[in-house]
A and B are shown apart, each in its own frame.
Chain A
Amino acid sequence: MKFPIYLDNHATTPMDPRVLESMLPYFIEKFGNAASRNHAFGWEAEEGVETARKQIAKLIHADAKEIVFTSGATESNNLALKGVVEMYHEKGDHIITSSTEHRAVLDTAKTLEAKRGVKVTYLPVDKFGMVKPEDVRNAITDKTILISVMFANNEIGTINPIKEIGKIAKEKGILFHCDATQGVGKVPINVQEMGIDLMSFSAHKIYGPKGVGALYVRKKNPRVRIAAQMDGGGHERGMRSGTLPVPLIVGFGKACELCEQEMAADAARLSVMRDRLHATITKALEEVYLNGHPTERLPHNLNISFAYVEGESLLMGCKEIALSSGSACTSATLEPSYVLRALGVGAELAHSSIRFGLGRFTLDEEVDYAAKKIIETVTKLREMSPLYEMAKEGIDLKTVQWAAH
């Protein structure tokens, strides 16, 4: 086993060596600009890009022409929201999103509120982190131009009822954008069946390179139009100017092709591993709480809170394992995870949460080691925790008058 062990695959994934191999010819030999129409260098670069476009489109059941390359999912989310608002502002000024979206969506929505006077509805989620389709329906007004709901949450892995939301959007004639950064390549996504009009995703979450992403933009039924947010050479059908990063795009395509072939096997293997990790921990420790949905969740995600133990100290005690926590101490804001808070998880348990993200290259022995180490560290930190001591003495912590600071 090699240390440190990487269990933070929601943050990013290592590249698959097969992806790297596909990219290599495009740095030195086939270095052309895909927009150069008059020579072989441009043609072979363009061919690489168009092959990738097909591979990417195939994974999500789209047409290659519907893929717009960007620098990543953050840019795709910005382009989708800002591009739609700018293009359809005469139709309305209301968008609907959810409170557990990624910051790239939430902060874009906030900017649109502040700078363009857009009205935004932030839908609540249920205790499992799921958006209720009926809430989407009830939030729609005659001014609604866009619904933006994420496919799966990056912290808790809960998968939203996208197909139902897509159906409502279609029925009401409202565009539906989905931030599917965590879902693409991990679970089957079909933009036709799910009624998705715009979809953001990126390469580095699916064993591809960092620095490239895509926005799926539906071409018919309806034909979606977005206003470009970057002026320039009019690349990507005028929606996103800028010379295409050909090696990254080729790698993105290969990564999607591999996901298409191996997604089912990866998901089956990782969900078994994830469930074993969860079972081992809950068997050894009391007061461990699952965050997110028990079944409707990404196969490689586990998010749990350990009562009486603060998340950052737990990570510190398991420093040979790369993990992430919803604790405020791990964020710049000193606020615990807004996603967990939106689920109704108490601040004290939000501070105690740990996210495990397994991946294609995670080994059984790594997960077993992680379980053992987590159990040891939680036990040690609970011995050190005044809250655990009080709870053991039978004091109800909720009745204690704490001096908040």
Chain B
Amino acid sequence: MAYSEKVVDHFNNPRNMGSFKKEEDGVGTGIVGAPECGDVMKLQIKVQNDTIVDAKFKTFGCGSAIASSSLATEWLKGKTVEEAGKIKNTDIVQELNLPPVKIHCSVLAEDAIKAALADYQKKTDSK
């Protein structure tokens, strides 16, 4: 199976790879997937005044999973929390040209975004 150029590019030059401290103010962390399924994504957002000012990811998974999460961090930056919640897996599929067998990678990325946003909400609500 050949990978699309964009998947290869994200795989070779991952954007925003790394971690924030989970406890840090304004940071929301989403960890989705399971090692036995072959993919785990950790996606983090840093929010200031309702805007995502930075995002980071770490992913255990195939090239398409890495590319999906890398792309997600690129898209998240600069979006408001509300806008971020509207990112759909189908957008990722289209952007990266994912084949049908890799669609679950994009679903996981969407789940990771939702989980990170939920974690951020929970943190702010509890204050």
Residue numbers of A with Cβ under 8 A of B are 308-310, 312-313, 316-317, 327-329, 332, 334, 336, 346-348, 351, 383-389, 397, 402-405
Contacts and interface: CB of A to CB of B under 8 A. Distances in A.
Contacts of A309: 60
A346 B58 contact: no
Given A310-B39, A313-B11, A329 B34 contact: no
A332 B101 CA distance: 8
A385 B33 contact: no
Interface string B6-34: 00100100100101000000000001111
A386 B40 contact: yes
B48 to A, nearest CB: 24
Interface in B75-127: 101, 104, 107-108, 111
Contacts of B59: 384-386
Given A384-B17, A386-B42, A313 B61 contact: yes
For the residues of B in contact with A, the DSSP-based class is: mixed
A97 to B, nearest CB: 27
A161 B32 CA distance: 44
Between A347, A351, A397, the greatest number of chain B beta carbons within 10 A of the residue's beta carbon is seen for A351
Contacts of A328: 37-38
A405 B62 contact: no
Contacts of B58: 384-386, 389
Contacts of A310: 38-39, 60-62, 65
B55 interface: no
Contacts of B60: 308-310, 384-388
Contacts of A384: 14, 17, 58-60, 66
Between B14, B36, B38, B107, the greatest number of chain A beta carbons within 10 A of the residue's beta carbon is seen for B38
16 contacts: A313-B63, A327-B38, A336-B38, A347-B38, A348-B36, A384-B60, A384-B66, A385-B59, A386-B42, A387-B40, A389-B19, A402-B40, A403-B34, A404-B34, A405-B37, A405-B104
